[in-house]
Each structure stands twice: as structure tokens, then as C-alpha cells.
Amino acid sequence: MARINLGGIVPFSTIDWRGKAAMVIFLRGCPLRCIYCQNYNLLEDSHYVVMKEIEEDIEKNEDFIDAVVISGGEPFMQPQAIEEIAEFAKKHSLFVAVQTNGFYPAVIESMLKRKLIDKIFLDIKAPLSDEKLYEKLTKVSGVTRKVKNTLDVCIHAKIDLELVTTVFKNLVGGEEVKRIAEEIEGAGAAYCPYVIQQGRAEIVPDKAIKEEDMFSYEELKELASLAYHAAYLKEVRVRTREDGEEVIYSRGRS
């Protein structure tokens, strides 16, 4: 049984998996150091627990939830933890999703073959053709190749897939969102929901991003329009702290 480097647990959430009530389990550790990281407190340090503690939390809440979402940090740094959590959740008839930055395509491919994961939420932080911007955002080189591979793995596995971009002015905005939309279509993932997520300056470490660099709700809707009209995407959503997630465009609806 794995010892799990646990970042924390949210017993009940309706915003992490649209349409489902979920328990969110945060795992510590990440290979990236994104300048706008919203969970930077999970990047360092350790808090190891035995799997039994997580099992007890799942059992305590299983009557109120449909699913378990494993987040981070970067969850796939701890594949054994994901495996054990997913196996236990499945025994209790719960769906399982993982939020990932896509840095570990081989691990993800191996996990998907085992059919323990029902959904992947994949971060597309910047255009995958722009290695320089990706490195600026993540402070790590060579990330785009890994994310491209992860995207390809997920498409071929036919896993339920959602693609997410966090936006800030002067970092990732309209031009970047348009290019990401085009790349999503080009990769064969236009059928996947594309979520444009409002970055939150107030929880960015060291105040590296200012409040005025946040997009407003109306500005996010404009970004959604740019993405939707740049490529033949099935669905474009926006996500904000105040209003949660909303479908702005879908084919057959404008």
C-alpha cells in the first residue's frame, strides 16, 4: 500500500467536474514552477499519509459524491497513489478524474490502459508551438513536446478529455487563445470542451501578477468568441471564481 504525499482534501465540490459532485484529493509535488501557480503551497515539502486515511475520507463522503478528482501539484508524479485511489473509488462505484499539466505522457498512457480513469483535465498553458512562452510560464524547458504527447495519448485512448487554459493579460490572452484553439483542432481534439479559466492574481506567489492583469467575465467571453471562431471547436466554456463554469459557445448554439 502506497504512502501518499498528500496536499489536502476537499470533501465536496461541484465546480471541479461539471455536472458531478466530487471529492477533490490534492497530491504534492510538481516538475513545473509556473509563475501564476494557484497551488504553489503544494510544490515543496512533504506530508505523507497511509492510503487508509484517504479510504476513510472517501467512505465518509461516498453517499454525497459521484466522483473523485485527483489534483495537485502534478498527480502523475505519484502514479501508485493515483492507482490505489482510483481502484478504491471504483470499488465504491465512483467516477475518477485527474487534473494534469501533461508532463508525464508515458505514465498517463500506462494508467489509461488500465481503465482506472474516466476523465482527464489537461492544461494547455500556451500555444504548443511556442516553446519559448511555455518555458517562460513554467520555468522548465521541453514541456511542449510532453504535453503534445499527452494530448495524443488521450485522443487515441478515447478518454473523456477536457482542455483548460488559464489566462492573464500580457501573458496568455487573445492571440494565444486563438492559436491554442487552432492547435486543438489540428491535433484532432476539437470534440473536447475547451475551458478558458480566469487566472486569480490574489493567490499568485510573490505578487508576480497584478490584479489589473486579470480578465473580467466579459473579457473572458470575448476570448471564448475568439477561440470558437478561430477553429471548429465543439464547445467553449469560461470559468471564474464568482460564477463557476459556463458554456459560452457550442455547435448548434451561439
Binning pLDDT at 50, 70 and 90, where does residue 41 land? Answer: confident
Name residue, grid cell 498512457. 109
CATH of the domain at 95: 3.20.20.70
Residue 72 has pLDDT above 60, yes or no: yes
- Give me the number of domains the chain comprises: 2
Same-domain check for residues 118 and 38: yes
Same-domain check for residues 3 and 95: yes
On whether residue 138 sits in a domain, the answer given is no
Q: What is the pLDDT of residues 207-227, one digit of tens each?
A: 778 889 999 999 999 999 999
On whether residue 175 sits in a domain, the answer given is yes
Same-domain check for residues 114 and 164: no
Binning pLDDT at 50, 70 and 90, where does residue 62 land? Answer: very high
Over pLDDT 90: what percentage of the chain? 86
Binning pLDDT at 50, 70 and 90, where does residue 204 land? Answer: confident
pLDDT at 132: 97
**Are the C-beta atoms of residues 74 and 100 closer than 8 Å to each other?**
yes
On whether residue 130 sits in a domain, the answer given is no
Say how far residue 165 (Cα) sits from the centre of its chain. 9
Same-domain check for residues 178 and 84: no
Residue 242 has pLDDT above 60, yes or no: yes
Residue 131 has pLDDT above 80, yes or no: yes
Mean pLDDT, rounded, of the chain = 94
Same-domain check for residues 153 and 49: yes
Same-domain check for residues 21 and 71: yes
pLDDT at 42: 84
Same-domain check for residues 219 and 117: no
On whether residue 16 sits in a domain, the answer given is yes
**Beta strands across the sheet bearing 194-198:** 48-50, 3-13, 22-27, 67-71, 95-100, 119-123, 160-167, 194-198, 235-240, 244-250
Residue 254 has pLDDT above 60, yes or no: no
Question: What number of residues does the chain have?
Answer: 254
Output the pTM of the full model.
0.95
Residue 91 has pLDDT above 60, yes or no: yes
In three-state form (DSSP H/G/I as H, E/B as E, the rest C), the secondary structure along 54-115 is HHHHHHHHCCCCCEEEEECCCHHHCHHHHHHHHHHHHHCCCEEEEEECCCCHHHHHHHHHCC
Binning pLDDT at 50, 70 and 90, where does residue 253 land? Answer: low
Same-domain check for residues 90 and 151: yes
Q: What is the mean pLDDT of residues 140-168?
A: 98
CA-CA distance, 84 to 62, in Å (whole number)?
16
Which has the closest alpha carbon to 89: 109, 115, 123?
115
Q: Which domain holds residue 115?
A: 1-122+143-157
On whether residue 91 sits in a domain, the answer given is yes
